[in-house]
Amino acid sequence: MAESKGPGNEGGAAGGGGTPKRKRGFLDRLRPYAVGTTAIVVVFGGSALIGEHVRSTKDDKVREPSGVAAAPVVPTGPADTATPSPSASPGPKLGLPVRPTIPVTLTVYVDLRSPDSKAFADEYEATLTQLLTTGQVELQYRLVTASDKQYGGSGSKEAANAAACAQDQGRFSQFMREVWKHQPDPSSGTLSHKNFLKEMARKAGKIKMGNFEPCLEQGDHNGWVTQSQKAFAASGLGQVPVLEINGKAVKDVHSTLTPQKLRKMVLDEAKRVIAVQATPSATSTLLG
């Protein structure tokens, strides 16, 4: 999908000789919603820093990282609402959002120890970035730790807690990128080594280690990670990676889905939701 040129390329015709105005495409109309890479960092950077650390029974305490979000519920028509995601629950918020203001939420379930999740991240990173920076999606990550049961140990849980600690400082995406880049063999115990995770944080850059290290060492978000895995297991969504668009599972992620198909699905959903919002009777539905 070629990105449309911005409005700045239309200028210079204020007093000209009748040069016809270029018809605005759908992506142009999404521009008011869009954020660039710098703005994404600002959204993360606005999250609260780590507060005082609770020093006991971390696995039992559900301490949400900064900026988490609930599962999306999006109207499917003027008079009704969408069926919530199977993983939606009245409990803690489990999604880690990277968002512009646009009514399409793409939820990505990944396991930091899973080779399949790494392969997905490698193939789709450019696509997800393009969807973000053109304002077409809010991107939510849901962290799954099922690979710990498969391979033994706690590497996925430790890494997910570390990612949540990075999120507290607005560096979730950067930390995740380093873990994917340096993901160890899942059958090894390397991912559970705190020194390895600290090194990933250093490589991510702009993470205050004085805050990150106690969050990691004390397992500040272990309870939240456990709840995220429980919600995923109860959802019946299958093996990661899993994608949902506005709470509806995307089919064939492991077989025939391509970056091009995903972009089209998101664009189609954006058109649908914007059309619903433009319907007068839908406005009250959206506003509750």
Q: Per the domain annotation, does 159 fall within a domain?
A: yes
Do residues 137 and 262 touch, judged by C-beta distance below 8 A? Answer: no
Q: Which residues contact 107 (CB under 8 A, 6 or more apart)?
A: 71, 72, 85, 95, 140, 141, 142, 243, 244, 245, 247
Q: Per the domain annotation, does 259 fall within a domain?
A: yes
Domain that holds residue 104: 39-287
In tens digits, the chain (288 residues) has pLDDT values of: 433 333 344 444 444 455 555 666 666 666 555 543 322 222 222 222 222 333 334 555 677 887 776 666 554 443 333 333 444 445 677 777 654 456 799 999 999 999 999 999 999 999 999 998 888 898 999 999 999 999 999 999 999 999 999 999 999 999 999 999 999 999 999 999 999 999 999 999 999 999 999 999 999 999 999 999 999 999 999 999 999 999 999 999 999 999 999 999 999 999 998 888 788 765 555 555
Q: Per the domain annotation, does 240 fall within a domain?
A: yes
Element (H, E) at 126: helix 115-133
Rg of the chain over all Cα atoms, to the nearest angstrom: 20
pLDDT for 70-88, tens place per residue? 666 554 443 333 333 444 4
Domain of residue 215, CATH code: 3.40.30.10
**Total-model pTM:** 0.71
Alpha carbon separation from 58 to 31, 195, 219 (Å, rounded): 43, 20, 6
Tally of domains within the chain: 1
Q: Per the domain annotation, does 20 fall within a domain?
A: no
Q: Per the domain annotation, does 12 fall within a domain?
A: no
The rounded distance, in Å, linking the Cα atoms of 66 and 125 is 23
Kindly tell me the sign of the dihedral angle through the C-alpha atoms of 237, 241, 246, 252: negative
* Angle at which helices 172-181 and 194-204 cross, to 10°: 120
Q: Per the domain annotation, does 28 fall within a domain?
A: no
Q: Per the domain annotation, does 1 fall within a domain?
A: no
pLDDT for 16-63, tens place per residue? 455 555 666 666 666 555 543 322 222 222 222 222 333 334 555 677
Q: Tell the burial category of 229 from Cβ atoms under 10 Å away from its Cβ (0-12, 13-18, 19+).
A: buried
Q: Per the domain annotation, does 8 fall within a domain?
A: no
